[in-house]
Amino acid sequence: MSRETIGLIGIAVMLVLLALRMPIGIAMLIVGIGGFAYLNGVQAALLSLGSAPYSYAAIYDLAVIPLFVLMGNCAAVSGMSRDLYASAYAWIGHWRGGLASATIAACAGFAAVSGSSVASAVTMGRVCLPEMARYKYDIRLAAGTVAAGGTLGILIPPSTAFVIYAILTEQSIGKLLLAGFLPGIMLALLFIVTVTLWTRLRPDMGPPGPVATRAERVRTLGRSGPMVIVVAISIGGIYLGAFTPGEAAAVGAFLSLCIAFWRRSISVDGLANILTETVKTTAFVFLILIGAFVFGPFLALSGLPEQVASTLAGLELPRVVILFALIGIYIVLGMFLEGFSILVLTLPIVIPIVQALNYDLIWFGVIMVIVLEMGLISPPVGINVFVVKGLVPDVPMGQIFRGILPFWLAMFFAILILVAFPEIALFIPKSMIN
């Protein structure tokens, strides 16, 4: 058999293992080591297995992952999410559909300290869904808003998805984190426009809330100040060249922890729970990355990525057609696989194609993360949909998915805008101080 055939067999075996519910990291380790042994000898495979887990887990840049996870966990217990929602609610809650728009704004703000879509959906859902129910919002709008707004957690920096993409593609973590900022704001605004149009067509979907006084608006704005400070120092420090991404994550985690203690929203036992959850999440991510670092060399040795890239380049199709074919494949994969799994499974094959098409890898990373966001709310395995379902167990799943469709279309429209105007993603990374 040819090396390319071995690569295809390896991918097929891994898909079978995933269908049997094997964790993605373990499946990649098994297939990667097995394929490497077949192509390069058992001794070489055993040497790789002995050294790869430690050598890759010891990469300094990976320290940014547990620190950003810790930052998000501290922010979740400190009450920042409630303050953000209260502030957005006071300023725009009196609009028709204003509570839903406030939810989007609060999700965007919380995304800037959490880096996780699931954490954003859970945290903001607990705060926002009861309020929208109290003001008689249609459950389709309420559920769709929380599920879609939560996806901003992996686009607006800090984002663990960007960190993993940067490491797997050998791109700058700092530039990728900053590249998600303007597209994240743009997507949040598109979500708010979606809410506005929906409630204008169907006024009964989102009745206006009460009008807050000027004093209430100023007070709620002041309460959200600590979160703004954390984001400005950590993410702004990366832009100004004052911090590396790892240092920015450490500073952000420390400030979030200090705020939680200052507000007396965390105890010693609570701190132990936060640290435990941080370790669990980090271990999950590191297992996937170690598996990817073992699986990637096997695919490279098989020659399959280069073969696919050269085949597509030989078709002489417009490069935008190939780009949207890749996006279509990712949309389908997002219906069945979790985002991290899609990243580590496909990047070894897709990146040579993107490079052959002369697309910027930073820009493509932003496109890819938005497509992963679409997967988070796509049936049948949209994780954020199940998160919202857990918060409103009496609501049929079909109602939630119907509420998500307008936001899904807004995400696709965002991709079209970024394809037409790539500088939206590249402006800040290009202007950052090195």
Round to whole Å and give the CA distance between 201 and 329: 33
State what percent of residues in the chain have pLDDT above 90. 15
Domain count, the chain: 1
Peptide bond into 158 cis (omega under 30): yes
- Cα–Cα dist 183/362, whole Å: 12
Q: Which tens digit of pLDDT belongs to each residue from 109-134?
A: 888 777 777 777 877 788 788 878 88
Degrees, nearest 5: CA angle 225-227-228: 65
C-alpha 379/C-alpha 7 separation (Å) is 29
Q: Does residue 255 fall inside a structural domain?
A: yes
What phi-psi label fits residue 258: left (phi over 0), alpha (psi between -120 and 50 degrees) or beta? alpha
- Cα–Cα distance for residue pair 222/234, rounded to 1 Å: 19
Query: Which pTM was predicted?
Result: 0.82
Asked whether residue 401 is assigned to any structural domain, the reply reads yes
Name the residue range of residue 337's domain: 62-431
pLDDT at position 105, please? 87
Decide if 265 is inside a domain. yes
Q: How many other β-carbons are positioned within 10 Å of the β-carbon of residue 345?
A: 24
Alpha-carbon distance of 287 to 281, in angstroms, equals 10
**Residue 49 domain-assigned?**
no
Residue 53 included in any domain = no
Interacting residues of 356 by C-beta distance below 8 A, sequence separation 6+: 309, 310, 312, 313
Phi, psi of 34 (to 5 degrees): -60, -45
Q: Which of 428, 62, 431 is nearest to 245 (CA)?
A: 62
pLDDT band at 410 (very low <50, low <70, confident <90, very high): very high
248-291 pLDDT per residue, tens? 888 888 888 888 888 887 777 778 888 888 888 788 878 877 88
- Show the CA angle centred on residue 96, arms to residues 94 and 99, nearest 5°: 65
Contact 164, 293 (CB under 8 A): no
List the single range of 40-54, 136-150, 347-361 with lowest mean pLDDT: 40-54
Question: At residue 341, does pLDDT exceed 80?
Answer: no
Give a yes or no: residue 193 inside a domain: yes
Which residues have CB under 8 Å from 133's CB, separation 6+? 139, 142
User: Using CA atoms, how far apart are residues 2 and 7, in angstroms rounded to an integer?
Assistant: 9
Q: Which of 155, 167, 156, 169 is nearest to 361 (CA)?
A: 169
8 A C-beta contact, residue 155 and residue 187: yes
Q: 433 falls in which pLDDT band (50, 70, 90)?
A: low
Structural domain includes residue 52: no
Q: Distance of CA 397 to CAs 126, 136, 401, Å?
A: 18, 19, 6
Q: How many CA atoms lie within 13 A of 171 on its CB side?
A: 26
Q: What pLDDT was estimated at residue 290? A: 81
- Per the CB < 8 A criterion, the answer to whether 122 and 387 are in contact is yes
DSSP 209-253: -PPPPHHHHHHHHHHTHHHHHHHHHHHHHHHHTSS-HHHHHHHHH
Gap between the Cα atoms of 376 and 384, Å rounded? 6
Q: With a cut of 90, say whether residue 319 has pLDDT above it.
A: no
Average pLDDT, the chain: 83
Q: Give 198 or 215, the one with higher predicted confidence.
A: 198
Residue 29 lies in a domain: no
Determine contact, residues 38/298, Cβ cutoff 8 Å. Answer: no
CB neighbours (10 Å) of residue 344? 22
Whether the pLDDT of residue 60 is over 70: the answer is yes
Which residue, among 80, 187, 68, has the nearest Cα to 123 in the 3D structure? 80
